[in-house]
Structure formats: C-alpha cells, structure tokens
Structure 1
C-alpha cells in the first residue's frame, strides 16, 4: 500500500463512527496508527509525525465512553480543542503535499491541495467565531463542513497516491 493510501484509509477510520456498547468499533486510534504508518514512509516527515502522534494520543483518551459522555456535557469549546490536533495535521499534510506537487509543476494538484489546506484553516477558526458570536445553532453546520473538508482531503489522497511526486512505498 502506498503511503498516501495508508493515510487516506486511516482518516476514513477516524471520520467514520460505528458505536457498539458505547465504544466506536472503528476506533480512531487505529486510524491514526495507519496514518502514522503512511506518514513515516514520507520524506521530510518530522512535523507530520509529531502532529499525527498528538492526534493519536488525543484519540486514545477520547475513545472511552466515559470520556465521550463528559465531552458531550462539557463546554463546546472543549470539543473544538479535542478536534484541533486532527485539523492541524490535515493542514500540515495538505501544505506538504501541495509543495511536493508544486515542485513537480503539477499545478492542478497543487491548487486542490492548497484549497484543502485553506478550508482546514478556516474550519479550525470557524468554531471560535461561532463561540464569539454566541451563534451556537451554527455549530452543526461547522461540523458538517468539517466532515466535507476531510472527505475532500481523503479523495485527494487516493487520487494523488500514484503521482510521480507522491511519496513512494
């Protein structure tokens, strides 16, 4: 499996939820392990590995039903903070891959990856703006948009896994 395919499959596991007895059968820590497996096979990977490890550690703590219940009852800003390592990883990955594509004059891929990066940055900031405006009814829309942006990144990872500039296995 190519590195970008591993990262994409890992992110699919992170995004999907299948609850059984309060536990997510598609455990996010397993997804982050796949992401790490793909990322560690890339060049210039130190930042990506660090961010993925941070997201893995957060996912390990949040996987338990008691933690999930606590987050549901807590302030929405805490849920935003819990999701921030994943968003930061997606920003860094999109930027890294956009730079690789740009170096090989793949302008279309570079543009799509930069778009994914900018959307992730905007979605990292969006909850803060919603909290500041006290427009809590918009949080559902922000989370739906975030899911769409992660889906875009997953599609791009699968689409670009075989490009000459993509990290080889």
Structure 2
C-alpha cells in the first residue's frame, strides 16, 4: 500500500462509526495506526515530515481515551470547548499534512496538487479557529460553518490521498525510466 493510501484509509476509519454497546467498532486508534504507517513511509525529503510524524503520534495517543464514551461524555458535559480542545492534535495533523504535501508537490513541479494540499492546510486552520470563535467569542452564527468544515477537511484528505497516492513526491511508484520501457 502506498503511503497516501494508508493515510487516506486511516482517515476513513476516523470518519466512519460502527457503534455497538456505546463503543465505536471502528476505533479511532486503529485509524491512527494506519495513518502512522503511511506517515512512516512518506519520502524522507518531504517537508515537515518530522513534524507530521510527531503530530500523528500525539493524535494517535490522544485518540485512545477519546475512544471511551465516558471520557467524551465527561468532556462534553464539562464544556463543549474541552471536547474541541481534545481534538486539536487531530486537527493539527490535517494542517501539517496539507502543508507538507503542498511543499512536496510544489517542489516537484506539481502546482495543481500543491494548491489542493494548501487548501487542505487552510481548511484545517479554519477548523482549528472557527470553534474558538464560536465557543470563546460567542459567534454562534459560525456554528454551522464550523460543523461543515470539520466534516469537509478529512473528506477532502481522503479524496486527495487516493488521487495523489501514485505521485512520486508522495511516495508513489517511481516513473519508469526510458530503459525500462520496451520499444517492441
């Protein structure tokens, strides 16, 4: 499996829910395991690779207690902003992933892909900031926009992850050299 495919599949697990007895059978820590495997296999020259690895590990560790319904309920009962804050590592992952892949794509001359991943990074920043404005600033009219952005950013990561998975700058298969192509 290519690195971006593993990351995209991990994000799919993060997005989907299979509730049973109060628990999600598609546990987020399993999704983060796939993400970590993908991040590990990204090209070493990718910008922000170390930061991406670090934020992925933090998000994976943070997802373990958040898998427990009692923890999520306690956070939401205490204050909705605490539940948002507990998910900041997850949101930070999308920002750093977008920035790193935008840099890698742009350096490889893939301007369209670079722009797509910059949009992901910008969307991730919006997801980080909008709840702060809603909860902290009392701008409740932004609540729907924040909810839409929370769902949209990871969905775009899944689509772009599969779409760009074969690109060399993303750890996809290297392009065949002219010597490898038979002129039969």
TM > 0.5 between the two? Answer: yes
Corresponding residue to 1:150 among 150, 154, 168: 154
Corresponding residue to 2:63 among 40, 53, 59: 59
Q: Does 1:72 align with 2:65?
A: no
Q: Does 1:132 align with 2:136?
A: yes
Q: Report the number of matched residues.
A: 169
Q: TM-score, normalised by structure 1?
A: 0.93
Q: Does 1:19 align with 2:19?
A: yes
Structure-2 separation of matches of 1:138 and 1:21: 33
- Judged with a 3 Å threshold, the aligned counterparts in structure 2 of structure 1 residues 58 and 140 are, in CA distance, closer, same or farther, namely farther
Root-mean-square deviation (CA, aligned residues, Å) is: 1.5
In structure 2, list runs of 5 or more residues that go unmatched.
174-184
Q: Does 1:105 align with 2:109?
A: yes
In structure 1, list runs of 5 or more residues that go unmatched.
none
Q: Does 1:121 align with 2:125?
A: yes
Structure-2 separation of matches of 1:102 and 1:142: 29
Greater per-residue helix proportion: 1
Corresponding residue to 1:46 among 47, 50, 65: 50
Structure-1 separation of matches of 2:83 and 2:147: 11
Structure-1 separation of matches of 2:99 and 2:139: 31
Partner SS, residue 139 of structure 1: helix
Partner SS, residue 26 of structure 1: coil
Displacement of 1:111 in angstroms is 0.7
Corresponding residue to 1:161 among 165, 175, 178: 165
Displacement of 1:136 in angstroms is 4.2
Return the index of the structure with the highest Cα Rg.
2
Displacement of 1:122 in angstroms is 1.4
Q: Which runs of 4+ in 1 moved over 6 A?
A: none
